[in-house]
Amino acid sequence: MGNNEGKDKGRLGRRTFLGGLAWGGAGAWAQTAPPLAERLPAARSRSGGADMPYGQPSPHEAAVQRTVSEVAGFPVWRTPLQHQRGIITASGLHFAVHHNGVPDLSQEDVTLRLHGLVERPLRFDLEHLMRYPMVSRVHFLECAGNSAANALSPTALDETLGEIAGEVSCSEWTGVPLKYLLHETGLKPGARWVVAEGADAGSHSRSLPLQALLQDGMVALFQNGERLRPSQGYPMRLFMPGWEGNVNVKWLHRLEVTDSPAHTKDESGLYTQVLADGRIERFAFHMEVKSVITHPSGRQVLSGPHGQHEIAGLAWSGRGRIARVDVSVDGGRSWVAARLHGPVLDRAFTHFTLPWNWTGRKAVLMSRATDEHGHTQPLRSEWKRRYAMHSFNHYNAVQAWRVRADGRVENVYA
């Protein structure tokens, strides 16, 4: 991308904010791209590049890995969002939270039982489910506890974006709308809630309001065009777009229609919100509007000494589409609208960018997303005021990165 001159003239209006240089101006790029030699070296090819029946990432990208840590006794695998460009998370990099391990299940091992306040209790096996009409939707999935360390730690931890906020990913999910199955069993009067249960050792289970499930619920069978990965719930999971990760029951094997919520261990313990005045928010299903700058982000080092960079990031909301993302490079004193790249999908990652001329001085980068319903991210101080000291679920405050004069990027509270 050596010489882009003239292509992005529309952004000249932002020149003051961005520090003087027009994006794509030859001067901006001269610092990064070395001049081309007169004679091009012969293309290097090495024989023996092994290919495999199921392709793998380049061995030269081996550093792109999920990171794992133990949270409250169970492992949490986080997506390295700082390596993601575009809105789809590679399936092998999808974050994962298992409270009781990943059960080794074949598709014959699992059937979906639908019972309770229904006219005809039914058992669906995979062979039958595969014959139903399916829909495909691109949606993010985020753990309620994502970014918990930023909510709880008194000082900002010097970690990568993935380590800080990698309990969110975005995939294309394909499966059978739950309404087809519920209409087939028929619903009895008084049916209001559904308790969804997984086939893992701890029988993970959550109660969900029936109306919402009829509208949006899906029995997901495919992820990014292939069958679900074991860690995403193979052979099937419940998927509720925009709702906290925990209700998206993996290894789904039972749906019980009831008149009231069951208050299972999985919805009354870790997954409640404690407000500042001590009251508890039950059933905070929706994930809130949120965004992160992926480039530059925690522990990256800007190639310098200064010059043109592209600030890039991801924004999402559990309530709808992203309407705008504002970016600040001066710690929140001034903001400018970033460019949203299509497709801007409902309850999905949206990719945003903004050209930035780094002067080589200290800077604090922040992004603040607003969704189509007008919900905007709070600052950390605002979020902390709303919730109790020890509250950490649904943390969606603005993420700030300090760029030091030497180009090192670190997590800060601003």
Ligand X SMILES: Nc1nc2c(c(=O)[nH]1)N[C@H]1C(S)=C(S)[C@@H](COP(=O)(O)O)O[C@H]1N2
Binding residues for Mo ion, rule: CB under 5 A, are: 97, 143, 245-246
410 Cβ contact list (under 8 Å, min separation 6): 156, 158, 298, 299, 401, 402, 404
> Which CB sits closer to ligand X, 200 or 371?
200
Determine the interface stretch with ligand X among 89-97, 180-188, 296-304, 365-373 (rule: CB under 6 A). 89-97
Closer of 254 and 351 to ligand X (Cβ): 254
Query: Which one, 143 or 302, has the nearer CB to ligand X?
Result: 143
Contacts of 277 by beta carbon, 8 Å cutoff, 6+ apart: none
Q: Would you count residue 89 as binding ligand X (CB under 6 A)?
A: no
Q: Are 256 and 194 in contact (CB under 8 A)?
A: yes
User: Using CB under 6 A, which of the segments 16-24, 92-100, 212-220, 343-351 binds ligand X?
Assistant: 92-100
Q: Is 256 in the site for ligand X (CB under 6 A)?
A: no
Least gap, CB of 393 to ligand X (angstroms):
10
Q: Which of these ranges, 91-99, 342-350, 365-373, 406-414, lies near ligand X under the rule CB under 6 A? A: 91-99
Is 95 a residue that touches ligand X (CB under 6 A)?
yes
Residue 253 interacting with ligand X (CB under 6 A):
no
Q: Which does 326 bind (CB under 5 to 8 A by kind): Mo ion, ligand X, none?
A: none
Cβ contacts of 236 within 8 Å, gap of 6 or more: 110, 112, 126, 129, 175, 219, 220, 221, 228, 251, 252
Q: Does 99 engage in binding with ligand X (CB under 6 A)?
A: yes
Q: Which does 219 bind (CB under 5 to 8 A by kind): Mo ion, ligand X, none?
A: none
Q: How many CA atoms lie within 13 A of 70 on its CB side?
A: 4
Q: What is the tally of helices (H) and strands (E) in the chain?
A: 9, 24
Nearest residue to Mo ion, using CB?
143
Residue 171 CA to residue 187 CA, distance in Å, equals 31
The string of DSSP codes covering 209-247 is: EHHHHHHH-EEEEEETTEEPPGGGTTT-EEE-TTB-GGG
Residue 98 site contact among ligand X, Mo ion, none (CB < 5 to 8 Å, cut-off depends on kind):
ligand X
Candidates 93-101, 113-121, 331-339, 358-366; binding stretch for ligand X (CB under 6 A) = 93-101
147 binds, among ligand X, Mo ion, none (CB under 5 to 8 A by kind): none
124 forms beta bridges with: 112
Does 350 contact ligand X by CB under 6 A? no
Q: Which of 249, 289, 348, 414 binds ligand X (CB under 6 A)?
A: 249
- Which partner from the list Mo ion, ligand X, none does 354 bind, CB cut-off 5 to 8 Å by kind? none
Cβ–Cβ under 8 Å, residues 401 and 165: no
- Output phi, psi for 316, to 5 deg: -155, 160
In the bound state with ligand X, the residue whose beta carbon lies nearer, of 249 and 338, is 249
What is the rounded distance in angstroms from the CA atom of residue 149 to the CA atom of residue 275? Answer: 18
Closest by alpha carbon to 165, among 376, 397, 404, 402? 397
Spatial neighbors of 265 by CB under 8 A, at least 6 apart, are: none
Q: Which is nearer to ligand X, 140 or 356 (CB)?
A: 140
Distance CA 236, CA 217 (A): 13
Q: Show the site string, 182-221: x = touches ligand X by CB under 6 A, - = not.
A: ----------------x-x---x-----------------
Binding site for ligand X (CB under 6 A): 94-99, 141, 143, 198, 200, 204, 231-232, 245-246, 248-251
